[in-house]
Amino acid sequence: MIRALAPVIAALLSAPAWSSAPVESDAREWLERMSMAAHSLNYAGTFVYQHQGRLEAMHVVHAMDAEGERERLFSLTGPRREVLRDNQEVTCILGDRQAVMVNKSLPRTAFPISFPRELMQLEQNYRFEVLGEDRVAGLGCRVVEVQPRDRLRYGRRLCVHEDSHLLLSLEVTDPHGEVIEQVMFTSIEFPERIDPDVLLPDLNDAGFSFRHQPEQQPARSDSDGAINSRWKVLRVPAGFMLTDHGWHQLSAQDSGVEHWVFSDGLASVSVYIEKSQQAQDSYSGVTHRGALNAYGTMVSGHYVTVVGEVPRQTVELIGASVRLR
C-alpha cells in the first residue's frame, strides 16, 4: 500500500502550493523565532524524509523542562532504529546492526533542523525572503527562502508555523533551483507536558555491541595561535571559516584521523585525512546521498575525504586543494 502511494506522496511533496500574496513580516525575524522554537518547545509528530526517490517516515518526541532538552526519534519505515538525546549526549540504537553508538551529534535525518541564531554572518552569503503563506500538517505557516549568493552552497525553503514558529517543512535546493531533499511533518501536536516514558527506547539492546565516539583531541597550535599541522587546505568558498580541528585516535597504536571542519554558519564541510595502510592504493571519486556529497582522493600516501551538505563542486574544490606543507 505504501509503495503504491509513494509516487502520489512524492508528487504532492514537490508541488509548490504557497500563496504568493504579499507578506509584511521580516524574514530574519521568522528565522530567529524558528531557531529558538526548535529547542524550547514540547512537541511530538511524524515527519517524512524524501531523497533520491526514497521516502522514509520517522516520529519525533521533544521535551524541554527543568532537566534540560531531551528527544526521542524512531523510524516508522525500513530497519528499526532509534535516536535518544539527553542534552548533549546522543545515543543511536540500530536494530538491523544490533549496535548502539553514543556520540555528541544528531544524525542528518533529525528534524526540525538546528538553525543559527546569529544571522548577520549568514547574510554575507545568503539572501532571506518571505515568499508567502502555506499549510503543512493542517497548520498555517510562512514560507521563508534562504537563497545562496553563489553556486557553491545549497538554498533552503522553509515553512515556519505561524503560532509556535516551529519549522514544519524544509526543502533543500541545488544551484539550479531543483529540490534535492525534502522533510515535512505530516502530523504534529504541542502538549504542555511530555510523559518521560515516551522518551524511553522501545528497542531492547541486550546483546548489542556498544561503541562510543572517540574523543577528538584538541588542535595543536603554535605560539601565535596558528594550527600546528603537516597539512593545509588552500581553497574554501567565501564565508567558510575553520571552526574545529583535531584528531580522532582509536588506540595508542593508531596513527589517527586528522579532522578539519569548515562552516559558513549554515552549511558545514568536514575534511578527514588518514594515512593509507597500503603501499599502492587508489581512492578517488564523488558519492552522494540526497544533499550530502562526499569526495575522496589520495594525497602523498594519505586518504583525503571531504564530506558536507554542499554541492558536488564544493567538496571537489576543497578536496583538490589539500596539500602537505
Q: What is the distance between the alpha carbons of residues 236 and 203, in angstroms, rounded to a whole number?
A: 42
Q: What is the distance between the alpha carbons of residues 116 and 22, in angstroms, rounded to a whole number?
A: 26
Fold of 214-324: Phosphorylase Kinase; domain 1 (3.30.200)
Q: Are 13 and 6 in contact (CB under 8 A)?
A: no
Q: Class for domain 2-210, per CATH?
A: mainly beta
Task: Report the phi/psi class of residue 152: left, alpha or beta, with left for phi > 0 and alpha for psi in -120 to 50.
Answer: alpha
Q: Which residues of 210-246 are buried (b: 16+ CB within 10 A; e: fewer)?
A: eeeeeebeebeeeeeeeeebebebeebbebbeeeebb
Task: Please state, as a whole number, how many other Cβ atoms lie within 10 Å of the Cβ of residue 112.
Answer: 27
> In this predicted structure, what is the pLDDT of residue 188?
97
Dihedral pair phi/psi, residue 152, rounded to 5° = -105, 10
Residue 242's identity, in one-letter code, is L
Residues 6+ apart with CB under 8 A from 210: 99, 100, 101, 102
Q: Which three cell numbers stand for residue 90?
A: 546522543
Q: Which three cell numbers stand for residue 323?
A: 596539500
Q: Are 111 and 183 in contact (CB under 8 A)?
A: yes
Q: What is the distance between the alpha carbons of residues 306 and 283, in angstroms, rounded to a whole number?
A: 12
Q: Cα–chain-centroid distance for residue 80?
A: 20
> In this predicted structure, what is the pLDDT of residue 285?
87
> In this predicted structure, what is the pLDDT of residue 135?
97
Q: Cα–chain-centroid distance for residue 252?
A: 31
Which helix or strand (DSSP H or E) is residue 9 part of?
helix 2-14
> In this predicted structure, what is the pLDDT of residue 205?
72
Residues 6+ apart with CB under 8 A from 24: none
- Predicted confidence pLDDT, tens digits, the chain (325 residues): 434 444 434 444 444 555 554 443 489 999 999 989 988 999 999 999 998 888 999 999 999 988 889 999 999 999 889 999 988 888 888 877 778 878 766 555 567 776 777 788 899 999 999 999 999 999 999 999 999 999 999 999 999 999 999 999 999 999 999 999 999 999 999 999 999 999 998 877 777 776 666 555 555 544 444 577 899 999 999 999 999 998 876 555 566 889 999 999 999 999 999 988 775 566 678 998 889 999 999 999 899 999 999 999 999 999 999 999 8
Q: What is the distance between the alpha carbons of residues 236 and 150, in angstroms, rounded to a whole number?
A: 13
The domain spans of the chain are 2-210, 214-324
